[in-house]
Amino acid sequence: MTIVNSTKRLSYLQAIVEAQREEMRRDENVILMGEDIAVYGAQTLFDEFDAKRLRNTPISENSFVGVGVGAALTGLRPIVDLTIASFCYLASDQIINQAAKLRFMTGGQLSVPLVVRTSTFYNNRTAAQHADRPYPLFMNAPGLKVVAPATASDAKGLLKSAVRDDDPVVMFEDINLWNKKEEVSLDEDALVPIGKAAVKREGSDVTIVSIAGCLPHALKAAEMLAEEGIDAEVVDLRTIVPLDRDTILASVAKTGRLIIADNSHSVGSVASEIAAVVSEEAFASLKGPIRRVTAPQVHVPYNGALEKRLFASPEKIVAAAKSFN
């Protein structure tokens, strides 16, 4: 039964679990597999669904993502949980070379309705081999859709849209957001469209485009700037591929100034692509150079104090805004 116009306060991770539950109830072809899925939030699903639809996998990412691709080709709709985003490297052959290309290589005869869930484990003292934010890698692979929600509602709505999509979708979560709570719709058909950004705060002086877990910092920076008479507009990208150019370009046309907050590395980042798009398509609107607030091109240290200095913060975003003066 669909519950309309009702909400419940859920954390980001709880919202993801509820999205999985609702989609598994709606469609018996939806299955969930991954590493330690009974540990990372999905415990209650084992009380409702049998083992045929819930599979704890070995620590063999390339293998079980390959199983997910094969299952999708036979008509199932797998959600494959890689847990940690750095593990995407191990599964990249199946994601990029198989899932992303099979529709093209078969002239549209095959589709791969696969969702790969993975979380960026930065700012958590997991060190260099577990703390990457590799979404730019998958942005460069035609055939994939890539989403990076920053709120519980968007995590639920985007995951549900991804499950219903007939093409492979990689969903990057953020461990720093897992415990963040808000009111989330209980409407089982409340979807967030893939490919549509959201203006989280309207403003007229500067546009701050936020990617993934940068959103809380961008909103806080906007509050700090408002105290100094600078009216910032905050755009939450939500979807990396396809990129919502229209929302970004409309905001820049209004403000004339652009800051992009992105916790991936500065070289070849999502911020780099957005900067290129705006430079090519809205150069005449710009009143100053585009500013990127990104992680430097270094590995993530184990030391927590050093690690936190790498990533976006309200103070860094405010400093970028003030640099326009």
- What positions carry a catalytic annotation? 130
Q: Which long-range contacts (CB under 8 A, 24 or more apart) does 100-107 make?
A: 100/141, 100/142, 100/143, 100/144, 100/168, 101/143, 102/69, 102/73, 103/143, 103/167, 104/142, 104/143
Residues 6+ apart with CB under 8 A from 60: none
Could you give the residue ranges of the DSSP H alpha helices within 124-269? 135-139, 152-164, 215-226, 245-255
Residues 6+ apart with CB under 8 A from 120: 85, 131, 132, 133, 135, 172, 173, 174, 175, 212, 213, 263
CA separation, residue 311 to residues 35, 128, 274, 317 (Å):
27, 14, 18, 11
Mapping DSSP to helix (H, G, I), strand (E, B) and coil, where does residue 297 land?
Answer: coil
Pairing mode, strands 239-241 and 291-295: unpaired
